[in-house]
Every structure is written in structure tokens, then in C-alpha cells.
Amino acid sequence: MSRTRVLAHARVRAAVVAAAMAALLTPLAACSSSGSATAPDSEGKPSADDRPVTVTVTPEGARVPAGEPVKVTASGGRLTSVTVTDDEGHKLAGKVAADGRSWVSDRKAVPGASYAVTAATRTEGGTAKSTRAAFSTAPAGKVNKVDWRPGAGATVGVAQPISLVFDNPVRNKAEVEKQLRITTSNDTEGSWGWIRDWSGRDRVDWRPKAYWKPRTKVTLNADLNGTDSGADGGWFVRDYTTTFTIGARQIVKVDLDSHRLTLERDGETVRRIPVSGGTPGGDKRSWRGTAVLMAKEGTINMNSETVGLRDAYDKMVDYSMRLTWSGMYAHAAPWNARYFGNSNQSSGCIGMSDANAAWFYGQVRPGDPFEITGKDTKGVVAPGNGFGAWNLSWSEWQQKSALR
């Protein structure tokens, strides 16, 4: 081989190596692509149908504000699939639009997370490519938490609402309510309503139009992670869920004028019990309207000073069943035995004998309604004083939704 040909081959190899090194040292763009090579036209340029697809991902950058869906768009071609995964391996679901030009996540980007985006595309000429991008969100400066009832797996009475109480104020009530989904086994009609809890905190309850049907299965999915409460409220940084079942149709009817409590189950009277309600004519009167049994608290200490009553008492009370946050209970009250069935002489609670209280305590469950009537009471149980939503008409309750 001649020296001229050897030198020529050496120059070709050097050119190839130089080109490869140049490719390796070229800086990576924000979005990188991989796939089939673009077909050139007769002049050595990409054909119009096979020009690269331009993919745009929003949000973009580092520590961007959370609370917005992830959006991916394509121009010069179509999206065939999009995958968005956070740093814990959780995926944001979404769907490519019918025209293939966009994809939007179903959920919002949450605070303090990093996301990797992979978009598969196809050019107008049919060439498949893959584009990758990444972004991160700023952490939450303030976090809002939720206390909810009833607990998971509970069996509750036919008047039990679903109740969420928030640690911090909720200004964006409509945005929060949109994230709350109720599923029932029999398509029960109901509505959310925003009220002020007895504690002074924001609260949202879901109650059916009428009492639940027995054996209904109920699930709450509160997909709140990534939702902003608004000014002074902070971010939600987790989701909440609970599933519970409705028990037998039990209704407790309390007639303060006749001093009788009646337990009805599935429309039949189970037992009538003589009771004594709150003393007429002052602060010791009982509430009227529908109260819902909140909890069976057993033997507890009752101190009238904690609810602002004069003539303070401080005693241990058995078979205590809470009806309101303001301190109305049904319970055993043997010290008032001479008044059962003939006079209201309690400090606002519904008292009965030890034997009747023990039996009654074993029959009822949280969520059972107490329908209380009487001429001399201190008013109707308010929606936030326990579970008093049943004292509003259906139309009045619906108006408390932030989405009306």
C-alpha cells in the first residue's frame, strides 16, 4: 500500500474519532430525545413530516410553587404516552388528549417533591422518540392537618355524618371540597356543608338527605395532598380515607314534657325509660332538636364549671353518652331518682337509673339520633355543637356547600 493511501486512511479515522468526541462533549439540553434517526430528503435535510417533535413540560425548574397539575404539550408531532413519577416512586395519572397534542395530570404537584417526566412522541412521519425532563417543587411553609370522623372500619348509626375538622383556616373552601369524594353502596344522596366547629375551627360535614339506610357501605376519599388551604392555612401534604358501615335503624326519642325516653329499632319500640332532663327556666335547660350520639365515654368526671354553669358540681358519672360538645349527655343519675318520669331537675343532661342506663348503654351506638322535644329548652342544637346538621332543612344544608 502506498504512503498516500495510508495517510488517507489515518485522516479518515482521525475525523471519525474527532466527531465522536465532539458528540460526547456537547452539553445536554433540558429535554433529551432518543429514537430512530430522522429520514433526510433528497437534499440531505430532514423531511417536513419527520422534523423533531418539540415537547414542553410545565412546571419547569427547581423549587417551583406546588398546587398545579403537570402539563405536557407537543408540537410538530403527537404524544403517545406520558409518565410522571415523584422521588418516592408514585406516579401522577393522566390521559393524552384525543389529538395527541397535550397531557394533563389528574392530581396536582405536591409540595417538597421532585418529579421525572418521560414523554413518548411520534413525528408526523412516524418516527418514535422519547423526551425526558425533571422539576422540583418548593416545600410547604405551613401544613394543614385534618381530624375526621367516623374512624375506619366503624359501624355507626343512621344519623352519623362524615366530619372533617381542620387545624388551620380553610379559605379555599371550594378547592378543598372538590377533592372530597363520597362513595356509597346504594348511591345515597347527600351534600357537604361548611360550618364552624364548637372549637372555633373550620369544619366540613357530609350528611345524607335523609337518615342512612341500614347496611350502607360508605367510603371517603379526601385527595387533599397538594391542595392549598389559602391564606394562613398552609398546604395539605397527605390524603385521607375512611370506610365505614351503617348499622340498624335506631332512633332515640326524648320527650322532656312527659319525661320519657323511647328507643325504637327498625320502626318498633324496644323500651320506654323514665328520665329527668334539664331544669326549666335557666342555663340548666336541655337542648332540643336532633342530637347525634357522638361517643360512649363510660365513667367520666363531670364538672359543671367546665361548661359555665353556676352551682358547681364535680362527680364521677357512669354510662356517659356524649350528645353535644357543650356538655349534654345521657347517663346514669341515681341521685335524681325521685324525679325520673315526673320532673326535669338535671343540669342539662338526660338522666336515668343505673339499671336503665346500663341496659341503654349496651343498645346504642355512635351515630344514633336523639330526637329531643320539649317546651322549655335553651334552643336547638347548632350544627357545630356535636353533629347538629339534622336541625337544618335539606335545602338549608345544601346552601352550606362551597360549590353551590
Residues classed as catalytic? 331, 349
- What is d(CA 402, CA 88) in angstroms, rounded to the nearest whole number? 33
Single-letter amino acid code for the residue at 373? T
pTM of the model: 0.83
| Equal fold, 146-247 vs 250-391 | no
* CATH (one of 2.40.50.140, 3.30.360.10, 3.20.20.70, 2.60.40.3780) for 51-139: 2.60.40.3780
If you search the block for the grid coordinates 427547581, which residue do you land on?
A: 62
Residue extents of the structural domains in the chain: 51-139, 146-247, 250-391
The top-level CATH class assigned to 146-247 is: mainly beta
- What is d(CA 302, CA 309) in angstroms, rounded to the nearest whole number? 12
Kindly write down the DSSP assignment for every residue of 271-295, as one continuous string: EEEE-B-BPTTSTTPPPBEEEE--E
Total residues found in the chain within this entry: 404
Q: Would you call 223 exposed, middle or buried from its count of C-beta atoms within 10 A (0-12, 13-18, 19+)?
A: middle
Report, at the CATH architecture level, how domain 250-391 is classified: Beta Barrel (2.40)
- Print pLDDT tens along the chain (404 aa): 443 333 333 333 333 333 333 333 333 333 434 443 344 544 555 565 678 999 999 999 999 999 999 999 999 999 999 999 999 999 999 999 999 999 999 999 999 999 999 999 999 999 999 999 999 999 999 999 999 999 999 999 999 999 999 999 999 999 999 999 999 999 999 999 999 999 999 999 999 999 999 999 999 999 999 999 999 999 999 999 999 999 999 999 999 999 999 999 999 999 999 999 999 999 899 999 999 999 999 999 988 666 555 665 688 999 999 999 999 999 999 999 999 999 999 999 999 999 999 999 999 999 999 999 999 999 999 999 999 999 999 999 999 999 98
- What is d(CA 166, CA 203) in angstroms, rounded to the nearest whole number? 6
Instruction: Give me the pLDDT at residue 305, please.
Output: 63
